[in-house]
Structure 1
């Protein structure tokens, strides 16, 4: 990535729909994990995928999945980006990408997708499964208490009833585990119609490695920033 970009240069307006992938590089020596976000844009319309952990993010040190949030303003991501990848889109590609981004944002809001710093691995999947099934375990305990003693269990001195109907359960799929790299990849993969030209990231793929994968496709114009302000 030899192209350097002057952060103060005047940017020409985009012609037609575009996809930009913003990558903040990984720098372990300075404790910088990096970040990946994807921004599709057409005129004044802008759709952002920038998946971040919630305020419980410190738990991710232990690879415990936490609820995440999707940042909708790419201003800070663009300011901190070391690499900016850009690709012109056809109207069909743009619609496909935007639909995927909006669907992903809904899943994040509904907690159908959780943030896992190390992505999908044995421990994070175990924790996600445990957290997902805990309400079901509580429900079964309540039903057993009711069957054996004839009434629902109570909580503390307030006698707050825990009432659960016999059929009050659903086969809800376990949440998917994602991070900024995997969600960025999913946007690019959708762009190429599920036939991505880059390998699917694993749990250890860093934002910098993801940037290198993107560059190797030859599909994006890339600008690097050696100094940011």
Structure 2
């Protein structure tokens, strides 16, 4: 980049501009952990497969409300006997983890409740977020640029000068603010075994507003000030 050193005839001003928005989330992610235990490895695998299929079928039944559905880690672990010598096994324990994102929050509370009502199932979340291509990010950047121009113009006016040209504009950072939620440490956890055949009432989940921030640095040429 060509450097333009400041001179008395073409002084420069460098400022920062910040943009900050509070917006409603666009996605909610939940984690689902399915568990099976037993004394026979084959039976544990069969039970885990059945519960995994049941959970996936339930999630997919919400159609376009589901943005993504992914299977994470799967494990089947022998449980050693508490007493005795040798490699004695008293049973097996299996886990499979699912992760899903929803864009329709009206279906979220019902799905979370129905998943948590499945046997030996744990639900974590929701973690709220925006889409990577959310218009909120572009608006925060525009707000940051407008703020930079406003600040530069105020400095110039204080000197009896005006802005003449923009020399440089750089993005110094764009990212989630304090309101952007995600794992770990957020959301809720529910885990219990289903015993009742009645459908549980849907949870009323209030979306957590997201804070989007942007920051730019800008360098301008000013007209000679009237000092």
| TM range, smaller chain | under 0.3
Structure with the largest fraction of helix: 1
TM-score, normalised to structure 2, is 0.27
Larger RCO: Structure 1 or Structure 2 (Cα < 8 Å, ≥ 6 residues apart)?
A: 2
